Structure 1
Amino acid sequence: MVNNASSAHRACDGCYVRKIRCDGENENSSCGPCQRAKISCTYTHVRKIGGPRRPKQKTLKAIADTSRAITVVSPPPSLLLSSSSSSSSSSSTIIDLEQLKPIIDAYGEKLKLVWPVVDITMLYARLSDPYPTNEIYALVTAIAAATISQLHLPESAPVTANHLVSEVMRAKALMPVVTVNTILTSYFLHTYFSNERNNSSAFMSLREAVSGLHALGLHREDTYLMMTPGQEQRMRKLYYMMIVTERGYSLQYEMPVILEPSIGLPSLDGIQDQNERVFMTGFLNLIHLFLKPDKNTIDTWKRPDHACMENIQRTVEQVMQINPLLLAHESQKVDIFVTQRWMQILTWQLAVLKGNGNVSIDFPASAVKNIMEIGMTVDIEAFEAHGPEMKFKLYEISSALADVVLCSPQASHDRNPIISTSRDLLHHFILFISSLKSTEPRARDRIFGKLLKAVNSHSVSNDFLLAYDECYENNHRETVRVMQLLDSI
């Protein structure tokens, strides 16, 4: 049989062993290298059968990791949960986004004015996508988790806030590129962790969102030049929503402020829809509320020197010039109104600590009375829409009023109309706070004893006891503690 080396690419035995090029034409003639080496030119070796080698362990691991990544992007139908799926689930279970529709309904009904940077129509469209990208999957599940914690919605496996967050974190690990959606995902994670009082994770998620804004250049005006008017408006809203969030968080936890108002505000120009114009008017008022105190003022608010104290007082006077009662949307009205009184109370407490002789003892009662009055004119859901953060502010305001009652001589409680009024107001204010669905155990536990003693300095009514029983109905040990405190007073 004739084998043509040039066509079959088969080398003779000598050239094969020596690993050199063989120019032999067939097995009946000697090739050039063998002739020059004066050796026999033969073709007796058996050619090995080609094919892949057994993969190494490193290769097998890389294939497995890639497979896990693909399942989030394009999960087969068998991995998707449905309403008939088992209630048990693990962190590797893919959630069918259509299961989240009731939660997104609650978001659209109660929270779209609180978090005004998500296109609700597009959000609904994503729910029906059977194979969402990691980016969309993480964002939708983050919105759902934040909504559950914000509104204190009932949970049922597998759609629990904790499981949703584990899915967000899993999908986030597969997203190396920063986009607007990844920034929003970090923002909603911040909201969830903040509501759950996981302060370290809340802080890190907020910083991640802020870094994302900088990575995309949204703090620079020239970035907006190439955007369409619609894109530009949405990005400006996102940037200033982050400013409001960061400054509110910094005031609570004494964290340094990073974002500056370095770009123009969202504009009312060109907005034809009347509802959108009404919303934007309220949103701009909220922005101005948090722009009145500059970065340095917020950074030094909790630990000011004498000069800073004067600046803070001037800032609060400017803040109070905003009139939220003119706004149409109740949730915006309540948010600004309560935040103004909260800032006033923080400043009043600082003045007391600094020994300012001009401090009015009846100021906390006035702030509580104002909030109670607006509470009678709006739906309670306007308060509940702002979740535990709203309850935190209300608790801090009530704490200042309790200080007034407790720091006054016991003998003057009945004779002094200011103290008597403050005690009664505090009684009703605690009942009002307790009626809100959201939970705020951190502030509640910190000042509970103080509030209880202040109200009980005169008497404790049955409705007060019932309110606190309701607050602690899910924690028997806390309920026992409440009753023990009552008995000891």
Structure 2
Amino acid sequence: MDSLPPLGERQIHRRSRNACDACRSRKVRCLCDNHNSVCKTCLELEIQCTYDKPRKRRGPQNRYVLAQIGTGLDPSTSTSPVSAATCGSDRLAPFPVIEQMIHDWFDLIHSVCPIFHRGIFLTRLASGEAAQDGIFAALVISVCAATSASLKRKSSKDYGIVTVQRCVDAVEEIELQAGRFPFSLEWCQLKYHLSVSLGSEKSLDDADCFRLLAESVTGVKYLVYYRMQDMDTVSQQLLKRLYWLLFVALCTSDLHGRPYVGLLTPEDSIIALTPLELSEDELDPTRSPLGEIDWHGNTKSYIPGLNYLSKLFLLWHKSQRGAENSISHLQHHLNLVQRALDYLPPELKWRGGLSRPPQSNFGTDVQTVNLYITQLHIRSNLLEQINRLSKSSGMRQTPPEVINERQSIVEDMLEILYHTSQETLEANGHSLIPKIRDLGSALLDEVRTSDREQAMRSKASVNLEKLLAKLEDLDIHSQLQYLEMGSLPEIHGR
């Protein structure tokens, strides 16, 4: 056995007699060195080291214990069959970190994924319900996963050890402890969040990502057909919103060449399933969280943006399932997609570098970017399908109209990327980067084409460099991926 270094050369760690609040919540040893009053765990997580929470008394349960259960301050004392200690919500991270992630989700991401009522959700979180209700604890963790996957820079800076995989593992532990959850809106929401989060961290081909998405689709279809008529108004509207976000996710997967897990069927009424364009206050005016009235979604509805997004993907969905797979059929739908955003509300219209209209806010800015980049992505995909059909019919060169349209799409994309704040782009999260890559891969084909004029190839090359530069800003791993691959990935088409 190696001998220990002299005492003067060793850093002495002492175990705190009374662990700090964070270490007690996570049930880990609380260690401090001789020169620092902040424990090692809090230093690593970069959080405040406090000793504010009341210590648990020994002996039988009394009013003190019941008070902690009611407030959620010490969930490990809960008498519920599925307590926080079992659920794993506190094991994921200290409550202040989880709370910050939830607030970041509502402030930055909710506008493009409005499947919760913020007032209801935050009230339940503050009441300590995640300490007593296993499925709500799992739902909270799934939102943390979505936040971590979407806000990568903020995640690495502010969220410490919270990762998508840790969230997935925590939810699986809850399910093992609590048993199988029945189909419910919350169950479908958490499966959706975990699926899109894993798809961002790994790939759309990941088995768990595919399974979770399929489970959410199955649950939503069941609720729509068998339970929606018995739901309250708020739950019905949230279910309809989730339905169309799932449809968007499935079409996006199909657009990238992955198997389509069916959701929309001829029996589904698009009109009946379209969510009402309600703000949070209109959806449930009695559930303002903790007296807050200034949140940007309280009086502004983000559902018009969701409905227009659904319209874009409905057009793409129809373009892939027409009776004839012809250039004219694809061109017809390409024209429809190009006109699909002509009647947006003023706050959702792209205005370039001009000031935004008074009705706009951060959430509508995020939606505007999402809508227009999605439209450009769908147009690009349809254009490449037309190009492939043209070549398969004997045409050796890319048709001039395809080249011109491709350049127009890329220039519009660059216009959006370079006139939008970094915060707004990052709030679109993982959904934005694959779209930019796909457009870049189509542009790379233009750069490699040797039978084009030099000026045209040079213009395509300059645009490609601008696209890659912006992509590198958004994706801290993009440069490494391109070095490993040698080029942009080839586009996945049908």
Note whether the superposition's TM-score is higher than 0.5.
Answer: yes
Q: Which one of 200, 207, 212 corresponds to residue 205 of structure 1?
A: 212
Aligned: 1:351 with 2:386: yes
| Aligned residue in 1 for 2:423 | 381
CA separation of 1:370 and 1:169: change in aligned 2, threshold 3 A: same
Please say if residues 334 and 383 of structure 2, whose CA atoms lie closer than 8 Å, have aligned partners that are also in contact: no
| Aligned residue in 2 for 1:435 | 473
Aligned: 1:145 with 2:145: yes
Task: Calculate percent identity across the aligned residue pairs.
Answer: 19
Residue by residue over 1:175-196, the C-alpha shift from the partner in whole angstroms, topping out at 9 and shown as x without a partner, is 3312111111100110111001
Q: Which one of 361, 367, 379 corresponds to residue 332 of structure 1?
A: 367
CA distance in structure 1 between the aligned counterparts of 2:376 and 2:240, rounded to whole angstroms: 27
Alignment of 1:242-257 (within 5 A): 242-257=246-261
User: Which one scores higher on RCO, CA 8 angstroms, separation ≥ 6?
Assistant: 2
CA distance in structure 1 between the aligned counterparts of 2:446 and 2:98, rounded to whole angstroms: 47
* SS, match of residue 407 in structure 2: helix
| Aligned residue in 2 for 1:315 | 333
Residue by residue over 1:292-326, the C-alpha shift from the partner in whole angstroms, topping out at 9 and shown as x without a partner, is 2336x4469xxxx9635543332222111122774
Deviation at 1:78, TM superposition (A): 9.4
| Aligned residue in 2 for 1:241 | 245
Alignment of 1:440-479 (within 5 A): 444=482, 448-449=486-487
| Aligned residue in 2 for 1:266 | 275
Please say if residues 251 and 298 of structure 1, whose CA atoms lie closer than 8 Å, have aligned partners that are also in contact: no
Deviation at 1:98, TM superposition (A): 4.1
| Aligned residue in 2 for 1:36 | none
CA distance in structure 2 between the aligned counterparts of 1:386 and 1:260, rounded to whole angstroms: 25
* SS, match of residue 402 in structure 2: coil
CA distance in structure 1 between the aligned counterparts of 2:435 and 2:485, rounded to whole angstroms: 12
Counterpart amino acid of residue 243 in structure 1: F
Q: Which one of 376, 385, 388 corresponds to residue 341 of structure 1?
A: 376
| Aligned residue in 2 for 1:105 | 103
| Aligned residue in 2 for 1:369 | 411
* SS, match of residue 360 in structure 1: helix
| Aligned residue in 1 for 2:113 | 115
CA separation of 1:91 and 1:344: change in aligned 2, threshold 3 A: farther
| Aligned residue in 2 for 1:285 | 308
CA distance in structure 1 between the aligned counterparts of 2:131 and 2:438, rounded to whole angstroms: 46
* SS, match of residue 432 in structure 2: helix
CA distance in structure 1 between the aligned counterparts of 2:202 and 2:186, rounded to whole angstroms: 24
Please say if residues 255 and 299 of structure 1, whose CA atoms lie closer than 8 Å, have aligned partners that are also in contact: no
Alignment of 1:160-179 (within 5 A): 160-173=163-176, 174-179=179-184
CA separation of 1:138 and 1:109: change in aligned 2, threshold 3 A: same
* SS, match of residue 141 in structure 1: helix
CA distance in structure 2 between the aligned counterparts of 1:107 and 1:269, rounded to whole angstroms: 19
Counterpart amino acid of residue 205 in structure 1: L
Unaligned runs of 5+ in 1: 1-76, 452-489
Q: CA RMSD in A?
A: 3.5
CA separation of 1:298 and 1:275: change in aligned 2, threshold 3 A: farther
Q: Which one of 170, 191, 195 corresponds to residue 190 of structure 1?
A: 195
Please say if residues 401 and 426 of structure 1, whose CA atoms lie closer than 8 Å, have aligned partners that are also in contact: yes
CA separation of 1:442 and 1:388: change in aligned 2, threshold 3 A: farther
Counterpart amino acid of residue 315 in structure 2: K
Greater Rg, structure 1 or structure 2? 1
CA distance in structure 1 between the aligned counterparts of 2:324 and 2:481, rounded to whole angstroms: 28
Q: Which one of 457, 462, 466 corresponds to residue 424 of structure 1?
A: 462
TM-score, length-scaled by structure 2: 0.65
Q: Which one of 317, 337, 358 corresponds to residue 294 of structure 1?
A: 317
Please say if residues 189 and 202 of structure 1, whose CA atoms lie closer than 8 Å, have aligned partners that are also in contact: yes
CA separation of 1:423 and 1:98: change in aligned 2, threshold 3 A: same
Please say if residues 391 and 438 of structure 1, whose CA atoms lie closer than 8 Å, have aligned partners that are also in contact: no
CA distance in structure 1 between the aligned counterparts of 2:210 and 2:385, rounded to whole angstroms: 25
Aligned: 1:399 with 2:399: no
| Aligned residue in 2 for 1:68 | none
